């Protein structure tokens, strides 16, 4: 039986100043109940017995959250205000030609991608009762890659069998993603759209799994963004978010070292004040009706030049959650 890692009392949550996430009034520095979150570390997780039963009938994995204060109901019509940050938009537009240059500005994402895909494959196979040993375990699943960029993550998801929609606000990114996807008949099925998550919500789109990898730290309003992610997720569907922790270690490695010393990324790629701690992300997602069930960190080995999954979430981390079905009054 998998053991569960408990984030004890969401350490420091009640005393944290929520930097750089717009108007922090939506958080109100809430003190979370002591036993509110039970999050499994990636290394503690074990796949359940495979079952042909439909995943949509499975109950939420974290039933205790149903006794917590009820999440705000998702307003599917409240997406007219975009979470797009125009400064970030201009920043990524300037380097959009280099998405598939494995030695260019997106080199860290290319290196990180195998670990991202490994976490996503493991968690989605477990949640949707799929065979992780299958060549195409995501067959029949509809997945949206929010902030897909040039398609670095969208393409392996398609190769795993998913019906993938990739969206990005930068039109040049979408054009590059389409050209590259068309080089392979398997990935040519990906539907790329230059749009926002909010626009998809307005179109009443829904997906089995919603993925936003290395995106939330670049949006103008993380809370509104997570509401849109939740609205795009079917009941009991999956939401995966990866980002960078707002820790001193992350500042030293992901910003100072990566941008100013090693020049892995252009200077100014990440703003310290826009980063979220795991505790903040859990709370924001909970307020958006997403119950975080599993979390892992990414650690870099300078000797091998490779990333691997770890329980260390002090720098880069990824969270898997399930959408809590709305309770009727």
> Cβ atoms within 10 A of the Cβ of 23, count?
9
- Residue set of the binding site for S-adenosyl-L-methionine: 116, 147, 168, 213
CA distances from 119 to 3, 202, 233, 288 (A): 18, 30, 19, 22
**Using N-to-C axis directions, what is the helix angle for 222-232 and 278-287, rounded to 10°?**
50
For residues 301 and 313, give the distance between their C-alpha atoms in angstroms, rounded to a whole number.
15
Listing DSSP states for 314-328 in one string gives: SSEEEEEEEEPPPPP
3-state secondary structure of 259: helix
3-state secondary structure of 53: coil
- Residue set of the binding site for Mg(2+): 214, 217-218
CB 209 within 8 A of CB 237: yes
- Residue set of the binding site: 116, 147, 168, 213-214, 217-218
E-assigned strands of 245-305?
290-301
318 Cβ contact list (under 8 Å, min separation 6): 116, 119, 213, 240, 241, 242, 295, 296, 297, 298
For residues 212 and 210, give the distance between their C-alpha atoms in angstroms, rounded to a whole number.
7
From 28, 172, 197, 186, select the one nearest 97 (Cα to Cα): 172
E-assigned strands of 140-232?
142-146, 163-168, 191-194, 207-213
For residues 248 and 161, give the distance between their C-alpha atoms in angstroms, rounded to a whole number.
39
CB 165 within 8 A of CB 191: yes
For residues 217 and 317, give the distance between their C-alpha atoms in angstroms, rounded to a whole number.
12
């Amino acid at each position: 039986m998998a053991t569960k890692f408990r984030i004890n009392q969401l350490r420091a949550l009640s005393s944290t100043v929520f930097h750089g996430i717009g108007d922090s009034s939506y958080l109100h520095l809430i003190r979370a109940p002591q036993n509110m979150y039970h999050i499994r570390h990636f290394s503690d997780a074990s796949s359940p017995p495979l079952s042909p039963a439909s995943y949509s009938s499975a109950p939420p994995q974290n039933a205790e959250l149903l006794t917590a204060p009820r999440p705000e109901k998702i307003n599917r019509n409240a997406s007219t205000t975009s979470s797009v940050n125009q400064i970030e938009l201009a920043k990524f537009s300037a380097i959009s030609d280099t998405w598939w240059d494995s030695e260019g500005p997106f080199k860290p994402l290319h290196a990180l991608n195998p670990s991202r895909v490994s976490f996503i494959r493991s968690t989605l196979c477990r949640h949707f009762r799929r065979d992780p040993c299958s060549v195409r375990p995501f067959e029949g699943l509809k997945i949206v890659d929010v902030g897909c960029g040039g398609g670095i993550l969208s393409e392996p998801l398609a190769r795993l069998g998913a019906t993938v929609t990739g969206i990005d606000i930068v039109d040049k990114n979408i054009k590059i993603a389409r050209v590259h996807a068309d080089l392979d008949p398997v990935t040519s099925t990906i539907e790329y759209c230059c749009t926002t998550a909010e626009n998809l919500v307005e179109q009443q789109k829904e997906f089995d799994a919603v993925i936003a990898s290395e995106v939330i730290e670049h949006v103008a309003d993380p809370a509104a963004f997570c509401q849109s992610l939740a609205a795009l997720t079917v009941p009991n569907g999956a939401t995966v978010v990866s980002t960078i922790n707002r820790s001193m270690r992350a500042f030293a490695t992901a910003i100072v070292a990566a941008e100013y010393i090693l020049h892995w990324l252009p200077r100014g790629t990440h703003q310290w004040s826009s980063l979220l701690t795991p505790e903040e992300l859990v709370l924001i997602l909970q307020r958006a009706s997403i119950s975080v069930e599993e979390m892992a960190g990414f650690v870099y080995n300078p000797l091998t030049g490779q990333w691997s999954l770890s329980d260390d979430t002090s720098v880069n981390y990824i969270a898997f959650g399930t959408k809590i079905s709305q309770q009727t009054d």
